[in-house]
Amino acid sequence: MRRALLCLLFAACSEEPDPDFGVTCGDGVREEFENCDDGNRLSGDGCDDFCQPEPLVTMRWAFYPALGGPPLATGCRADAAIVELVTEVNTTKRYPCDDGRMGTVHLPLGKRIFARLRGPTDEIVAESLPVTAPSTWIVDADFYGDAGYLRATVDCTDAYVDMIFTPVGGGRMFIESTRCSGSGGGGSGSRVTSVVSNPVRAGDYDVEVRIVSTTRTRTGITIRPNNGVTDVDFTQ
């Protein structure tokens, strides 16, 4: 009814839209409102699925044989031949694992990237943690030969979580104030989320997680070397 009234008022109507107002992203022709058009609707190739350009992210990688020690002065880890940059939109780019230790890949705004090491027969040797590129578009990927990470599922009622690692064989190590993903702090109730520790030397630990006045402990957690990620649920 509304369309019929408009047609009567303006004395003109068409069943088909005016082709002059049609803009098709992905047809290979850059048109109005498009800042690029590479002929597809794929992200990760420099022009995203909305025909907007994607910046190049530079990822730098470093190899630490021992936690707290200096990185390798030259070359690559003995078990790695290729560094593969992997983005959240399932695009990858490969670089030889050599003295350069740096590569670039297109990444849509707000998406994450990580680096993967592959051995001489293309087997996966280790992976870095995924990160979101900041405004500088330079991110770092660190690989530890004797250390890994704990990824804890927690009820995040505050912005920060304290993790206390007690080696099963004795001694104590603190990893303090790990930030809750997506938490603004002083929250309005619990929110289940994942937090990742700093690198932890491989071994067996009893782990205590503190969030404000809440404490939960898990015993006999094994942290694996070569950037291994161990998942533990602290919400139970």
What is the CATH number for 109? 2.60.40
pLDDT at 17 > cutoff 50: no
Pair (132, 89) in one structural domain: yes
Which residue in 181, 96, 101, 94 sits closest to 138, CA to CA? 101
Which residue in 48, 25, 30 sits closest to 109, CA to CA? 48
Pair (152, 220) in one structural domain: yes
Pair (139, 191) in one structural domain: no
Which residue in 68, 63, 105 sits closest to 86, CA to CA? 105
The 3-state DSSP class for residue 20 equals: helix
Does a structural domain hold residue 110? Answer: yes
Say how far apart CA 23 and CA 33 lie, in whole Å: 8
170-217 pLDDT tens trace: 877 777 667 775 544 444 456 788 888 999 999 999 999 988 878 899
Which residue in 202, 200, 205 sits closest to 225, CA to CA? 202
Pair (88, 158) in one structural domain: no
| Cβ neighbours of 126 (radius 10 Å) | 22
Domain span at residue 204 reads 147-233
Does a structural domain hold residue 68? Answer: yes
The mean pLDDT value for 73-102 works out to 92
Last residue of a domain, one of 128, 143, 158: 143
Say how far apart CA 88 and CA 67 lie, in whole Å: 28
Pair (60, 139) in one structural domain: yes
Number of independent structural domains in the chain? 2
Pair (88, 113) in one structural domain: yes
The predicted model scores a pTM of: 0.76
Pair (60, 94) in one structural domain: yes
CA dihedral 105, 106, 112, 117 (to 10 degrees): -20
Pair (108, 132) in one structural domain: yes
Pair (131, 156) in one structural domain: no
136-148 pLDDT tens trace: 789 999 999 999 9
Q: What angle do CA 47, 51, 55 make, to 5 degrees?
A: 35
Pair (138, 152) in one structural domain: no
Say how far apart CA 162 and CA 207 lie, in whole Å: 10
Going by pLDDT thresholds of 50, 70 and 90, the confidence category of residue 123 is very high
Last residue of a domain, one of 84, 113, 143: 143
For 101, half-sphere exposure in the C-beta direction (CA atoms, 13 angstrom radius) is 17
Does a structural domain hold residue 202? Answer: yes
The token pair that represents 216 in the structure block: 């939960």
**Quick one: DSSP state of residue 176?**
E
Residue type, 101: R
Last residue of a domain, one of 110, 143, 176: 143
The token pair that represents 205 in the structure block: 């630990």
Burial of 50 (0-12, 13-18, 19+ CB in 10 A): middle
Does a structural domain hold residue 18? Answer: no
Going by pLDDT thresholds of 50, 70 and 90, the confidence category of residue 66 is very high
Which of 12-16, 47-51, 53-57, 138-142 shows the lowest per-residue confidence on average (mean pLDDT)? 12-16
CA dihedral 101, 103, 108, 114 (to 10 degrees): -30
Say how far apart CA 213 and CA 225 lie, in whole Å: 32
Q: What is the total residue count of the chain?
A: 236
Does a structural domain hold residue 7? Answer: no
Pair (192, 133) in one structural domain: no
Pair (153, 139) in one structural domain: no
